[in-house]
Amino acid sequence: MDPYRLPRVVIPTRYDIRLEPDLTTLTFRGEETIAVSIEEPVGEVVLNAVELAIDEAVVVDGRGREQRAIVRLDEAAERCHLTFAEPLATGSGRLRLSFRGTLNDKLRGFYRSVYKDPGGVTRTMAATQFEATDARRALPCWDEPAFKAVFSVTLAIDPALTAVSNTRVLSEVSEGDRKVVRFADTITMSTYLLAFVVGELEHTEPSRVGDTPLSVWCVPGKRRLAAFGQEIAVASLRYFEDYYGLPYPGDKLDLLAIPDFAAGAMENLGAITFRETALLVDEQAASHAELQRVADVVAHENAHMWFGDLVTMSWWNGIWLNEAFATFMEMLAVDAWKPRWQRWVAFGVSRAAALTVDGLHSTRPIEFPVRAPREADAMFDVLTYEKGASVLRMLEQYLGPEVFRQGVRDYLRAHQYANADTGDLWAALGQASGQPIPAVMDAWIFAPGYPLVSVGVEGDEIVLRQQRFAYLPAPLRWWGAGPAASAGSGRWQVPVQLRVTAGGRDTVERVLLAEPEIRRPLPAGFESVVANEGGHGFYRVRYDDGLRARLLGRLPTLGAIERFNLVNDAWAVTVAGLMPATDYLELTARFRDERDKNVWSVLLGSFHALNRLVTPADRPKLEALVRDRVAPALAALGWTPQPGEDELTRQLRGDLIRALGTLGNDAEVQARTVGLYADHERGTATVDPNVLPALIAVLAHAGDEGRYHEFFERFRTARTPQEEQRYLYALTAFRQFPLVEQTLARTVNGEIRTQDAPFVVRTLLMLVHAREPAWDFVKKQWDTMDRLYPKHGLRRMAEGVIGLATPELEADVHRFFQERRVDLGGKTLEQYLEQLRVAVTLRERDGAALSAYLARF
Ligand code: BES
Ligand code: ZN
C-alpha cells in the first residue's frame, strides 16, 4: 500500500467549514462537517492533517448512529486516523471535526502575511496557499486532487476586516464580537483550490464578463496599480470562454495581490492569489518586460479555471495537464490581446530553457511517478511548464489550430467537474483529428529528452537524421546518482517543417521524421534549407557547415523565431562539444544588425555563460568582445525612443544598455547613465520606462557604497512592486566585497522578504563578482535558510550553483551537498550538478582556444 495515498473506502462529497482566524494571536480555530459516502463497514477513517490539533471528531454513519472517534495524528505521514469502537455502517454519513492551528510564516497552508500600510505601520493579514498538498495544514481533509467535493465556507472574523473566498458572499451577520461571513457553495472541486483571505482589503470596481463580476484586490493604498491587471483579466477570461466553448465555472472572479506569496500566483477557483509584482503595476511607469509578466501570469491563472479547476489531473504525475496547458493558453490569450508583443517569439526563451534541462541525462519525462509531497513539489519545473507547453504548441501546429481546439473542447466537456489523465486528452484529440495521437505524442510525454535533427547535403540529397541530444557523453557519476539515468528509445516522431529555397522560391514541406534518417532530393537551383520552419518544434537542428553558412548569409529572410533557434541551437551544439566555441563566437559577429530582443537575449545569455568560465585575465577581453557585438546595435537605435517606435524595440534598447554597461563594462555607457539618471531624478529628463531599469542596473554595477545605500533606501520606499524589484536586484550588482556581504546578510535578517530572498541569493551565486562569497554564505546559513524560506526556496536558490563554474568550486559543491545529504526533491539536485559539470567541461575543453580567440580584443 502506498503510504501517501488515502484509502478510498470513505469518500467525502461535501464540506461545511467554519474557520475563525485571529490576527492578533496568529491562530485559528475551525469546525467542519464532512458529508461522506461510506463504501465499506470500516472501523477507521483516514484523512490528511498536519500541524493541527484536533479537539473532537464525531461520526454519524450510514444508519444514523453517532460515535466519537479516538484521534491519532501521524505528523510524518501528514494524516489523522479516526478509530471507532463499532464499524461504521455503509451509506451516507457525516463527520464532524473541531480543530486548531497557527497562522504560520512559511507561506503555506493558512498563513500570515505582513506589510506596511500607507502610514508606515506594520499590518498583518491571513491568506492561504494549498497547492500541492497544504490544504491539510488548514483543515483535516482528503487532500488529493481526485477527492473532489463541494465546499461551503464560513469565516468568522474581526468586524473591521474583510474576508474573501472562492465564491460570492451569501450573508454577513454579526455574532458577538465577530463578523460571520458565509460564502456560496463551490463547484465540485479539489481541496488544493480552496482559498481564504482575511485582512484590510481594498477592491476595484468590478468589471463584468458575461454574468461574472471580476475585481482586483490589494492592501490599502495600492488600488491605483490594479487597472492593467484587471484589463488583461477581463480580456483573457473572455478569450477562454470563447476558446473552450464553456462558460467560466465560478460565480465571481477575484484576483488578490498578497504581500507575502511563495509562488508567482495560484489558480484558486474564483479567488486567484498573486504576489504583488505579478498583478499590480503602473502601466505608465513599467517596462515592456514588467507588463508582459503581469499579463502572462493573469492569463495563465485564468486559463486554469478550466484546465485544472474544472478538469483536474487524477494525480500529481499528470500535473503537466494543468501547467503545460495553462502556459500554452497563456500564450494564445496574450498573443490575441496584444499581437504586437509577438508573444510566441518571446516563448522561444521559455522553450530554450526547457531544451537546456531536457538535454541532461538527469532530465525526466514530462509525466513522472510521484508519491511523497516533496516529489509533487518538484514537478513544478521547466519540464512540466515549458517543455509541456512547447510540445502542445508543436502538436497544435501539426494538427492545425482548429482541430486542436475542437479536441480540447471535447476533452473539457467530457471530464468537467471530474479528473482526467493524459490518455483522456489523447482520446479527445484523436477523435477530433482522426490521427493516431499516442503514436505521435507518447515519446514526447513519457520519454526523457528530445531529438537533435542533423541536416546535411550529401550528393544530390538533403539528409535528415535524428538522435537524442545530450550535452555530456555519459551520465554523471556521483554519490547520489539515482537508478540508472532516464533512458528513452532515442527515437521520436518529429514533425519537421522544411523550408527549401531554390531558384529564388520558397517551398514548405511537412514531414514526420519517424525513422533515424530520411532523404529528400536536392532541388535544382538549391540555395538553402530551414529545418524547423516557423520554429515551433521541440528539437534542435544542427546544420552542416555549408548549410549554416548559407543561412547566415541570408539572415533577413528568416523569421525572428528561426533566427532565435539558429543562434540557440548553435550555442547548445557548442556547449555539447559538437562545434568549436570559436566558431560560435564568429557566428555572433553576424548579428550586429539584429533587432529582435529575444534573439539578443540568447546572444547575451551565451556571453554571460562564457563570462562565468573564462579566466580573470581574459575577462576584460570578453568585455571588449561584448562591446564589439553590442555597441553597433545600440548606436543604431540611439538612447531615446523614436516617435511611433514599438514596445519591443524600446525594451531592446534597455536590454542593450544594460548589457553594455554591465557585461561590456563600457565606460562611456556608464558615464552617460550617471548623467541621465541624475537628470531623471531631478525631473529634467524623461527616461523611457524600458530604459530606466537598465540605468539602475548599470549604476549598481559601477556603483560605490554611497550609491548602494541610496538604492537600498529606494528599495525600502518603492512606490510600485516593479520599482521595489529593480532596486532589490540592483543590490546584487555592486561589485565591492563589503557590499556583497551586506546584501547577503539581508537575505536572512528579515530586510528582504522570504518570498524574494532565495532568488536574490541565486542571482548572487550566478554573478562572477559575488559567487564565491555567496557560496560561502550559503554553506554557513543553509540551516537558517531552510528554517526561514518557503518550501520551494532552497530548491530555487540552489539553482545558482550552476554559476560556480570552476573545477575547484564544483568539487566543493559536491562535497557540501554530499556531507549534508541534501535532497531538493525529484531530480532537481542531479540536474543542477549536471549543468555545473556541463559548464566546467566546456571550460576544460574549449578554454585554451577561447583564450587565444579573445586575445585579439
Ligand atoms: N499552480 C501554480 C502555482 C504553484 C506553483 C503552486 C508551484 C504550487 C507549486 C500556478 O498556476 C503557476 O503556475 N504559477 C506560476 C506563474 C505562471 C505564470 C507560470 C508561478 O507561480 O511561478
Ligand atoms: Zn499554473
Instruction: Tell me how far apart the alpha carbons of residues 770 and 248 are, in angstroms, rounded to a whole number.
Output: 48
Q: In sequence order, what DSSP letters do the residues of 249-316 get, joined into one string?
A: SSS-EEEEEESS-SSSEE--TTEEEEEGGGT---TTT--HHHHHHHHHHHHHHHHHTTBTTTEEESSG
Instruction: Kindly give the distance from the C-alpha atom of residue 385 to the centroid of ligand 2, in angstroms, as a whole number.
Output: 8
Q: Please tell me whether residue 636 adopts helix, strand or coil conformation.
A: helix
Decide if 197 contacts 271 (C-beta within 8 A): yes
Q: Ligand 2 centroid to 330 CA: how many Å?
A: 10
**pLDDT exceeds cutoff 60 at 229:** yes
CA of 293 to the centre of ligand 2 (A): 14
Residue 42, C-alpha cell as written in the block: 470500516
pLDDT at 556 over 70: yes
Write down the pLDDT at residue 731: 98
Output the pLDDT for position 264. Answer: 98
How far does the centroid of ligand 2 lie from the alpha carbon of residue 214, in Å? 20
Which residue(s) pair with 10 in the sheet? Answer: 38
> Taking all residues of the chain, what is their mean pLDDT, rounded to a whole number?
97
Q: H/E element holding 781?
A: helix 771-788
Give the chain's length. 857
Cell 466537456 -> residue: 413
Which amino acid type is present at position 580?
P
Biggest alpha carbon distance in the chain?
89
Q: Measuring from atom 18 of ligand 1, which residue has the nearest CA?
A: 297
Per-residue model confidence as pLDDT tens digits over 36-54: 999 999 999 999 999 999 9
The stretches of 614-756 forming alpha helices (DSSP H) are 619-637, 647-661, 667-682, 692-701, 705-716, 721-730, 737-746
Query: How far is residue 418's CA from residue 311's CA, in Å, rounded to a whole number?
Result: 6
Query: CA separation (Å) from 733 to 200, 660, 697, 722, 769?
Result: 36, 14, 7, 17, 8
Instruction: Provide mean pLDDT across the span 1-15.
Output: 94
Closest CA to ligand 1's atom 1: 266
CB contact at 8 A, 367 and 422: yes
Nearest CA to ligand 1 atom 21: 264
- The stretch 72-85 carries a mean pLDDT of 97
The grid coordinates of residue 532 equal 524547423
Taking the C-alpha atoms of residue 24 and residue 44, their distance in angstroms, rounded to an integer, is: 37
Q: What angle do CA 776, 731, 347 make, to 5 degrees?
A: 95
Residue 746: Cβ-neighbour burial (10 angstroms; 0-12, 13-18, 19+)? middle
- Rounded-to-integer distance, Cα 453 and Cα 335, Å: 29
How far CA 675 is from CA of 274, 386, 669, 712, 848, in Å, comes to 37, 41, 10, 20, 40
Residues with CB under 6 A from ligand 1: 131-132, 263-267, 296-297, 300-301, 304, 323, 326, 380, 385
pLDDT tens, residue by residue, 281-328: 999 999 999 999 999 999 999 999 999 999 999 999 999 999 999 999
Range with lowest mean pLDDT among 1-5, 69-73, 464-468: 1-5
pLDDT of residue 617: 96
3-class DSSP state of 174:
strand
Closest CA to ligand 1's atom 13: 323
CA pair distance 451, 465, nearest whole angstrom: 9
pLDDT band at 1 (very low <50, low <70, confident <90, very high): confident
Is there a contact between 826 and 368 (Cβ–Cβ < 8 Å)?
yes
How sure is the predictor about 2, in pLDDT bands with cuts at 50, 70 and 90? confident
The angle that helices 757-765 and 721-730 make with each other, rounded to 10 degrees, is: 40
User: What integer pLDDT is reported at residue 490 of this predicted model?
Assistant: 82
- pLDDT tens-place string over residues 402-413: 999 999 999 999
State the pLDDT at residue 175: 97
What confidence category does residue 481 fall into, taking pLDDT thresholds of 50, 70 and 90? low
Which residue has a Cα nearest atom 22 of ligand 1? 264
Cα dihedral value 584, 589, 593, 597, nearest 10: 40
Write out the DSSP string of 510-527.
EEEE-SSEEEEEPPTTEE
CA–centroid distance for 64 within its chain: 48
- The reported pLDDT for the residue numbered 71 is 98
The DSSP line for 567-620 is HHHHHHHHHTTSS-HHHHHHHHGGGTT---HHHHHHHHHHHHHHHHHS-GGGHH
User: 142 to each of 5, 15, 80, 245, 798, how far by Cα in Å?
Assistant: 10, 10, 10, 31, 32
What is the position in ligand 1's atom list of the atom closest to the CA of 380?
A: 7
Among the atoms of ligand 1, which is closest to the Cα of residue 264?
Answer: 21
Residue 564's identity, in one-letter code, is F
C-alpha cell of residue 147: 477527492
**At 208, phi and psi to the nearest 5?**
-120, 135
Alpha-carbon gap, residue 802 to 834, rounded angstroms? 9
Asked whether the bond before 132 is cis by omega within 30 degrees of 0, the reply is yes
| Cell numbers linked to 168 | 460570492
Q: pTM surpassing 0.85? A: yes
Give the pLDDT band (50/70/90) at residue 626: very high
For ion ligand 2, residues whose CB falls within 5 Å: 323, 326
- Does residue 490 come out as left (phi exceeding 0), alpha (psi in the -120 to 50 range) or beta? left
- For residues 58-69, average pLDDT: 98
Q: How many Cα neighbours within 13 Å face the side chain of 661? A: 29
pLDDT the model gives residue 482: 60
Question: What number is the average pLDDT over the span 201-229?
Answer: 98
Note the pLDDT of residue 476: 81
CB-based contact 817:797 (threshold 8 Å):
no
Cα end-to-end span (Å), the chain: 65
Q: What proportions of the chain, in percent to the nearest 5, are helix, strand and coil?
A: 45, 25, 35
Separation CA 690–CA 455 (nearest Å): 39
- Catalytic positions, written as ranges: 301
Pairing status of strand 178-183 against strand 150-157: antiparallel
Q: How far is CA 96 from the centre of its chain?
A: 38
What is the arithmetic mean of pLDDT over 74-83? 97
Rounded mean pLDDT, 425-438: 97
User: In the structure grid, which three cell numbers stand for residue 436, read together?
Assistant: 493516431
Contacts of 103 (CB under 8 A, 6+ apart): 21, 23, 26, 27, 28, 110, 111, 112, 126
Q: Tell me which ligand sits closest to the C-alpha of residue 330.
A: 1
All cell numbers assigned to 315: 494525480
